[in-house]
Structure 1
Amino acid sequence: MRLTGFATGMDINQMVTDLMRAERMPMESMKKDQQQLEWKMDQFREINLKLDTFRTSIFDTILRRSNMMAKSATSSNEQLIKATATAAAGNGTFTINSVDSLATATTNASSKKLSNENEAKIDRTKALATQNFDGEFGWSDTGIVNREVITVDQRHTDMDLNTELGNPDSVVVKVNGVSYKVVEEFGEGNIRATQVMINKNGGADGKDQLVFGAELAKGAKVEVSSFTQTEDGTQRFATSEITTFNEQGDEVITKFVFTDDQSLNNVMKQMNDSSAGISVFYDEFSDKISVSRTETGRFNTTEGGKEMTFTGDFFTAGLQLDNDAEKSGTNASFTVNGLATERHSNTFTMDGVTMTFQEKFAAGTNSVSIGTSTNVDTVMDTIKTFVEEYNELVDFVNGKTGEEYHRDFRPLSDDERNAMSEREIERWEEKAMSGLLRNDRTLRGGFSTFRMDMYSPVNGLDSATLNQIAQIGITTTNNFRDGGKLEINEDKLRAAIENDPEAVYQLFAADGPTHADKGLARRVRASADGLIEQISRQAGGNRGRNMNHQFALGRQMANFEDRISNFERRMQQVESRYWSQFNAMEKAVAQSNAQAESLFAQLSSW
């Protein structure tokens, strides 16, 4: 805090402030230039964001065959068969002469009640050991559970363990969560791909070794758990297996280890989450467990073979699951175009057409025709979306490059903002931001390239009669002020799609060796990528250019910051000089006043 003007009576603080305001005028101009540059950079980045969105949309819409070659399927009787078509479907007709049987899932259920008739019904939420089950689970005493997880470092079939394995019946081996059948020795020939053999003391330094029936992929996660039996074990366990079959007809053996402190709910969740592909629930009314395959159909190719085989007392005695009580699943059996065939599911895809059987019907009574054709509406919508997004982008950029530039409306300083209302500031800055990209060469050049991409013929197409965009009814508007916006003759476009949808697709999506051989959308996407790169070199914010030194406007911004910083330091020196001069003046005036008072006193004494 300075106290001044005692000698002169002048408001020196205000005088210095006014002088420094005049001195700082060049710096205010630099700050306004810097603000204008920042606005320009933001507008460039906004355009780049729109270009990147447009570029991504091209890939996700008009370049996707599933959109441009969309097919529709119709069923002559949707009460019996529903149908949809993918882009892979050919135009034609299927005739389903009959559906002799629908696909069903294999099921099994407890052969009798789980609870002891003379005791209270079991509680599914409490530990198995505390419940009154009628059957025996075949518990064994156990002490600790040894568990080892190994990540395969290279492809091989064997690995040494740090864990000493006990009885193979109490060992569970999983690879990436899928159980493997544990065996003690080779059977006839080699063990199966889904089996693993325990080679006791066969590894390095006498370690137990696992030998798999097929090479494991590098990075596979092998989990080995073994239960060591002890006489004084405080926990009991039981091991059991479920054998199912996959679509290739191969066995899928899933091994389970349950402990007596688990609840029935825990057991069912463990079964449902396993790789066995089953769904399990407990019905309290009947007091029974129900087990069904999650997939319909029959997968065991052995005649009379079971689809689900339960092994171990836990399943067969504890949960009362009798393998002979299985109700095996069936395939969907039908005749298509006179050919009798089957599928595992009631919903399946044939030559790109997905059919869902609703009901059975006999031959000669309700034959169902499934017809496929090009979904013209979907293709039309895809092309119209592309044109609309292109026009929006052209309109936005033309607006920026054609905006009027107001030279008299510069960015506001802090003092100027403080003297204006919010509405006045908003209107001022709207004009100040206008025209910053007027006639920008980068943008005009980029969109000129877009127009050339759109209007030039596509070379190398199979369809010589369809190689320009105008041939499918898409042309530029008559108004030159639109800057090359497109308009669609929908009747002509629809006719082109109906006549040759593949040719229309290739016109947009052809991927030839040169730019002239590429489809229109692929050209525009490549040009958009190039324009994004040019703008990012100028304004940053994309392609990893986030630091000022990495792009042109950023380097100008950094230069302004350096100039403003240097100017600030000089202003501090100027202000110090002003204060020194005024202080010297104050001191001189004070001395002069003192001398005058002294002379006046002497004259008065005469």
Structure 2
Amino acid sequence: MRTTSIKFTGMASGLDTESIVKSMIAPYQMKVDSKWQQQTLMEMQKNAWRDMNKQIFDFHDKYISKMRLESTFNKKNISLSNPSIITIDKNATLPVGTHTIDRIDQLAEGARITSKAISDIDTTKKLSEQDGYKDLVGKKITINGKEIEITEEHTISSLAKEMQQVDPNINVNFDTNTKAFFISSKKTGESHSIALGGDKDVWNKLGILDASTTALKIDTTKDTTLTIKGKAISISAGETHENIITQLEAALNDGVIDDKDKSKVIYRDGKFIVGAKQKDISIIGDGIQKENISIGKNAILSYNGVEINSEANNISVNGANFIINTITKDPITLVATQDTDAIVDFMKEFVTEYNKLIEDIHNKLDAASSKSYKPLTSEQKKEMSEYEIEAWDKKIKDGIFRKDPDLKYVVDSMREVLSGVVEGGTFSSLSEIGISTGDWKEKGKLHFDEDKFRKALAKDTDGVIQLIAGSGDPKSVFEKDLANGVISSTKSWEELKKSELENDKALVAKYENRTKSIGDRLYDSINNVSRSTTLRSAYSFYNDKALDKKITVAKDDVKKLEERMYRMEDMYYKRFMAMEKMMQKLNSQSSWLTSQMG
């Protein structure tokens, strides 16, 4: 920015030098102002397009992107025979009809460790300061393989906190009111477990009871002998997991007749997990590590005759999302009906908001010309009131989009799609289901005939959804044209689909495009007119790159023109100052001569 120094001019000549210089540089100032007005007008265009971009994409995100999705129109009304047993998601897309949850045998549960109160513990003191607990110092325990050593500084609460920290997938809490541990997995299902290992005396003193399940880590690289229920079994080095499981189950279930009382063994994460059914089982052996383990449970239920085994009580099947709350042997009936009101409401709202958008766009395209209005310079604003300045600026902004080809192309593209034909379905156009354009003077505004739309839904709901959000069958359209002689081809539709020839690919694309839904075409049209090019960025409806470049060039031109103008101004002032000095000298000489003659 140029700083203006104070100039004392015209003292000898009596001339209004500043006015004279200002007049002399006026042509240069006019060039600066003209280029600045061009730059400012382009910046106003950029700001206007930024707002228009947002307006169009807000409509796109709220309606067009949803209009192409069948899930938008597949909302259902669902009634339950027993709402207390399950909780259904209101957005479920369950197929229309009657569905049955035959039974719920088991809820999903997390792993839980049984514990009892340790009434003699003092929660305010360190364990090392309490009789019965001081001998725990130096002993080690493990939780899911992570080791903790009891120190002299541990209180029961700090020990619980450290137990929590070793595994983020479990909850460990010592309740000071009940003086008991509560240990559980954060998630439900059989894949989640809690294994307690290390010194068994520590767990007993902490009130943690033996779990009914035991995890064995067996070194299979060498011969191992185990004693189970008082009987010895030998495991050879290199024995397969399957053979070890067979031997363990045979020993565990020796003498057990009823299958429901038999213990099971599974192999998981390097451990043989023994689900013991009998309380008197003992497993002893060198070279093994034992952990008490609790394993979560899966939800078990039957839906429409299909057995479901799920890690969570939140079930997703056949478009239904529901939560099971309790087990039951009685069947639960779900009756799903199409929510036609939701379809009507969405399309009615789409038509309303679409009309608002194109009305605003056409008002901008048809605005009065503002070519004679240029952005006001600071000098021009000095001569105008604030109201006049606002009115002037508004006139310029109102005319920015007048006959704009890019904006007109956007609205024409949408209008063409909405009046187009989709082949291969029950309905081929929006007008057939009650959405049509009116008089040409309305410039593409849509009219929504709710009664006609509801009748179309009653006749064929799937057909309406197919027109708006689905797609027709390109194969049937192709075969129809082939039979009627509209096209000639020696290949079937399946052969064309598999072909790598460009002509065949083009033919397939042509028929697939003819059967695309209105929603898909509208989505594609917006993407096509806002696609990135060398002149525009992605998601822009105008040539923003080109405009930004023009603005940058204009700014540089303004700067260059200003510098030239300031150089000329300085040059003129220097000449006038030289003239003033000369006249001052002449005046002095004249005064001297006058005084001599006097």
TM-score, structure 1 as length reference:
0.66
Whole-angstrom CA distance in 2 between matches of 1:458 and 1:352: 27
8 Å CA contact 1:103, 1:345 repeated in 2:
yes
Structure 1 residue 436: deviation in Å?
A: 1.7
Whole-angstrom CA distance in 1 between matches of 2:539 and 2:435: 37
Aligned partner of 1:530 in structure 2 is 528
Indicate the SS of the match to 1:280: strand
Indicate the SS of the match to 1:24: helix
Indicate the SS of the match to 1:530: helix
Task: Map residues 235-384 of structure 1 onto 2, 5 A cutoff.
Answer: 238-242=140-144, 254-258=145-149, 260=151, 261=153, 264-269=156-161, 271-272=163-164, 278-295=170-187, 310-313=196-199, 316-324=203-211, 346-358=313-325, 363=330, 368-384=332-348
Paired AA for residue 16 in structure 1: V
Among residues 475, 479, 490, which one is paired with 2:436 in the alignment?
475
Paired AA for residue 474 in structure 1: I
Aligned partner of 1:207 in structure 2 is none
8 Å CA contact 1:58, 1:521 repeated in 2:
no
Aligned partner of 1:403 in structure 2 is 367
Aligned partner of 2:83 in structure 1 is 78
Structure 1 residue 323: deviation in Å?
A: 2.2
Whole-angstrom CA distance in 1 between matches of 2:185 and 2:582: 107
1:9 paired with 2:11, answer: no
Task: Map residues 178-189 of structure 1 onto 2, 5 A cutoff.
Answer: none
1:498 to 1:263, Cα distance in 2 relative to 1, 3 A: farther
Higher alpha-carbon deviation: 316-325 or 436-445: 316-325
Paired AA for residue 574 in structure 1: M
8 Å CA contact 2:100, 2:334 repeated in 1:
yes
Whole-angstrom CA distance in 2 between matches of 1:472 and 1:128: 78
1:133 to 1:469, Cα distance in 2 relative to 1, 3 A: farther
Whole-angstrom CA distance in 2 between matches of 1:294 and 1:72: 33
Structure 1 residue 347: deviation in Å?
A: 4.2
Structure 1 residue 435: deviation in Å?
A: 0.8
8 Å CA contact 2:143, 2:194 repeated in 1:
no
Among residues 465, 476, 482, which one is paired with 1:505 in the alignment?
465
Higher helix share: 2
Task: Map residues 133-172 of structure 1 onto 2, 5 A cutoff.
Answer: 134=133, 137=136, 139-140=138-139
Aligned partner of 2:225 in structure 1 is none
List per-residue Cα deviations over 1:504-549 (Å, max 9, x = no partner).
3332344783444432222222222232247x866x5x4399xxx9
List per-residue Cα deviations over 1:403-422 (Å, max 9, x = no partner).
22234432111122234443
1:518 paired with 2:516, answer: yes
Paired AA for residue 335 in structure 2: G
8 Å CA contact 1:135, 1:319 repeated in 2:
no
Whole-angstrom CA distance in 2 between matches of 1:11 and 1:276: 85
Structure 1 residue 133: deviation in Å?
A: 5.9
1:593 to 1:436, Cα distance in 2 relative to 1, 3 A: same
1:411 to 1:341, Cα distance in 2 relative to 1, 3 A: closer
Aligned partner of 1:412 in structure 2 is 376
1:502 to 1:601, Cα distance in 2 relative to 1, 3 A: same
Whole-angstrom CA distance in 2 between matches of 1:551 and 1:37: 12
Paired AA for residue 286 in structure 1: T
Among residues 7, 17, 30, which one is paired with 1:25 in the alignment?
30
Whole-angstrom CA distance in 2 between matches of 1:265 and 1:578: 89
Aligned partner of 1:41 in structure 2 is 46
1:488 paired with 2:448, answer: yes
Paired AA for residue 32 in structure 2: M
List per-residue Cα deviations over 1:327-379 (Å, max 9, x = no partner).
9977666676688877665543343323444456665xxx5421112232333
TM-score, structure 2 as length reference:
0.67
Paired AA for residue 138 in structure 2: W
Paired AA for residue 146 in structure 2: K
Higher alpha-carbon deviation: 371-380 or 57-66: 57-66
Percent same amino acid at aligned positions?
Answer: 24
Gap runs ≥5 in structure 1: 141-237, 243-253, 301-306
Indicate the SS of the match to 2:25: helix
Aligned partner of 1:121 in structure 2 is 122
8 Å CA contact 2:175, 2:181 repeated in 1:
yes
Paired AA for residue 340 in structure 2: V
Whole-angstrom CA distance in 1 between matches of 2:165 and 2:179: 22
Indicate the SS of the match to 2:98: strand
8 Å CA contact 1:65, 1:87 repeated in 2:
no
1:567 paired with 2:567, answer: no
8 Å CA contact 1:271, 1:278 repeated in 2:
no
Indicate the SS of the match to 2:177: coil
Paired AA for residue 139 in structure 1: G
Structure 1 residue 69: deviation in Å?
A: 2.0
Indicate the SS of the match to 1:433: helix
Structure 1 residue 270: deviation in Å?
A: 5.3
Aligned partner of 1:170 in structure 2 is none
Whole-angstrom CA distance in 1 between matches of 2:179 and 2:575: 104
Whole-angstrom CA distance in 2 between matches of 1:341 and 1:553: 60
8 Å CA contact 1:476, 1:487 repeated in 2:
yes
Structure 1 residue 453: deviation in Å?
A: 1.6
8 Å CA contact 1:72, 1:84 repeated in 2:
no
Whole-angstrom CA distance in 2 between matches of 1:75 and 1:510: 29
8 Å CA contact 2:123, 2:176 repeated in 1:
no
Indicate the SS of the match to 2:565: helix
Among residues 387, 390, 413, which one is paired with 1:449 in the alignment?
413
Among residues 568, 572, 582, which one is paired with 1:578 in the alignment?
572
Whole-angstrom CA distance in 1 between matches of 2:355 and 2:62: 14
Among residues 554, 558, 561, which one is paired with 2:552 in the alignment?
558
Aligned partner of 1:543 in structure 2 is 538
Paired AA for residue 529 in structure 1: N
Structure 1 residue 439: deviation in Å?
A: 0.6
Whole-angstrom CA distance in 1 between matches of 2:358 and 2:183: 61
8 Å CA contact 2:188, 2:312 repeated in 1:
yes
8 Å CA contact 2:340, 2:457 repeated in 1:
yes
Structure 1 residue 471: deviation in Å?
A: 2.2
Whole-angstrom CA distance in 2 between matches of 1:554 and 1:298: 60
8 Å CA contact 2:358, 2:411 repeated in 1:
yes
Paired AA for residue 476 in structure 1: T
- Cα RMSD, aligned residues only: 4.0
Indicate the SS of the match to 1:424: helix
Among residues 402, 405, 408, which one is paired with 1:438 in the alignment?
402
Whole-angstrom CA distance in 1 between matches of 2:190 and 2:582: 113
Whole-angstrom CA distance in 1 between matches of 2:197 and 2:111: 17
Whole-angstrom CA distance in 1 between matches of 2:581 and 2:157: 96
Aligned partner of 1:192 in structure 2 is none
Whole-angstrom CA distance in 2 between matches of 1:264 and 1:63: 59
1:574 to 1:285, Cα distance in 2 relative to 1, 3 A: closer
Aligned partner of 1:248 in structure 2 is none
Gap runs ≥5 in structure 2: 1-5, 214-293, 475-508
